[in-house]
Amino acid sequence: MTLQQVSKRIKTTTDLRGIVSTMKMLSSVSVPPFEKALASAKEYGQTLEDAFLALALNTGWEPPALSPAPAGKRRAVLIAIGSDNGLVGRFNREVLKAADRFLSEHGYDLNAVDTVCVGRRLALTDRRTRSATAVFATSNNIKELPALAAAILLKTDELTAGHKAEAVFLAYQEKSGTRIHPRVIQLMPLSRTWFDTLKKRKWGGRMQPMMSAPKTDLLAAFSREYLTIAVAGTLTASLAAEHYTRMLNMQQAEQNIDESLETLNLTYQQARQNAITDELTDIVSGAESLTKQSSKRRTPLLTKHRKKGKTPVIDSNRKEKI
């Protein structure tokens, strides 16, 4: 590799490092707002859970159990949340892998599962056992997530009614501390495990709330609001995990680029030293060649004068022997 080629590669790698550092910084500053929004969504979700608890205490309501369909013939709708952008490694693939494992373990036929993909990259990844039934683009604007959640739920209702699916599941990536891991939850109908845990919770006040509205109206309102905040919350959690994953990947890429730059700089120094050595060698070789040629021109002239018995005369102006 020539000195010019090495220098060009160093410049290209340095520019790439600047891009990677910028992307890492953008991802790092994007994580805290999503985590803050997720905390707010969880707090509101707990308020809605209290509403369900009050409904259960006042009316004896309980969520319906899943129908006992034969294993391998059960139909479902899967909402898989991934990313629109790249540089997240196996982020999308891990979501689908966890969803496939969960559905298979619970007796669902993967070919009979309608998949709603949130994230174009995830839709491109979902080509192994099935194709995406619907694709939604993710949004980095926190204020747009409730509207996106409502659109996803509307499409899910259409698929559930049209294909007679018995359940809807959510698959997404979640950030826990410094770890990212996939998670699959049951969205509809409301999980019996969730309800059993809810019933163990004690009511926070001295008296239970009075409910004058019809049970069906309250249940519909609570369910609609709870499902919307659940999907919006998972969208927020997925975006926080996505940006955190990209930040880690950019950090690793930055380290790899630094190592490459160090190697390239050593290569450049070696190539430059070789170039200097070659130039010095050429100069020394040229000087030796000129010395030999000058010596050959002077020797015959001195021999001629000596044969005639004459002494060579040196002209001070010409600086050469006559």
In this predicted structure, the answer to whether residue 167 has a pLDDT above a threshold of 70 is yes
pLDDT of res. 322: 38
Of 52 and 163, the structure prediction assigns the larger pLDDT to: 52
Domain residues for the domain of 222 are: 29-252
In this predicted structure, the answer to whether residue 208 has a pLDDT above a threshold of 50 is yes
Query: Could you report the per-residue pLDDT of 295-316, keeping only the tens digit for each?
Result: 766 655 555 555 555 555 555 5
In this predicted structure, the answer to whether residue 319 has a pLDDT above a threshold of 70 is no
Query: Could you report the per-residue pLDDT of 73-96, keeping only the tens digit for each?
Result: 788 999 999 999 989 999 999 999
If pLDDT is split at 50, 70 and 90, which confidence band does 320 have? very low
Query: Could you report the per-residue pLDDT of 233-269, keeping only the tens digit for each?
Result: 999 999 999 999 999 999 999 999 999 999 999 988 8
pLDDT of res. 28: 94
Taking residues 48-59, report their average pLDDT: 90
Taking residues 153-173, report their average pLDDT: 91
Does a structural domain hold residue 291? Answer: no
Does a structural domain hold residue 275? Answer: no
Does a structural domain hold residue 301? Answer: no
| pTM (2 d.p.) | 0.81
Q: What is the 3-state secondary structure (H, E, C) of the chain?
A: CCHHHHHHHHHHHHHHHHHHHHHHHHHHHHHHHHHHHHHHHHHHHHHHHHHHHHHHHHHCCCCCCCCCCCCCCEEEEEEEECCCCCCCCCHHHHHHHHHHHHHHHCCEEEEEEEEEEECHHHHHHCCCCCCCCEEECCCCCHHHHHHHHHHHHHHHHHHHHHHCCCEEEEEEEEEECCEEEEEEEEEECCCHHHHHHHHCCCCCCCCCCCCCCCHHHHHHHHHHHHHHHHHHHHHHHHHHHHHHHHHHHHHHHHHHHHHHHHHHHHHHHHHHHHHHHHHHHHHHHHHHHHHHHHHHHHHHHHHHHHHCCCCCCEECCCCEEC
pLDDT of res. 102: 93
Does a structural domain hold residue 71? Answer: yes
Let me know: does 170 contact 230? Beta carbons within 8 Å.
yes
Let me know: does 208 contact 58? Beta carbons within 8 Å.
yes
pLDDT of res. 72: 60
Does a structural domain hold residue 9? Answer: no
Q: What's the chain's average pLDDT? A: 86
Does a structural domain hold residue 278? Answer: no
If pLDDT is split at 50, 70 and 90, which confidence band does 170 have? very high
Let me know: does 182 contact 97? Beta carbons within 8 Å.
yes
What CATH number does the domain containing 230 carry? 3.40.1380.10
pLDDT of res. 5: 87
Please tell me the total count of domains within the chain. 1
pLDDT of res. 282: 82
Does a structural domain hold residue 60? Answer: yes
Does a structural domain hold residue 155? Answer: yes
Q: Which of 41-45, 107-111, 194-198, 216-220 has the lowest mean pLDDT?
A: 107-111
Query: Could you report the per-residue pLDDT of 24-48, keeping only the tens digit for each?
Result: 999 999 999 999 999 999 999 999 9
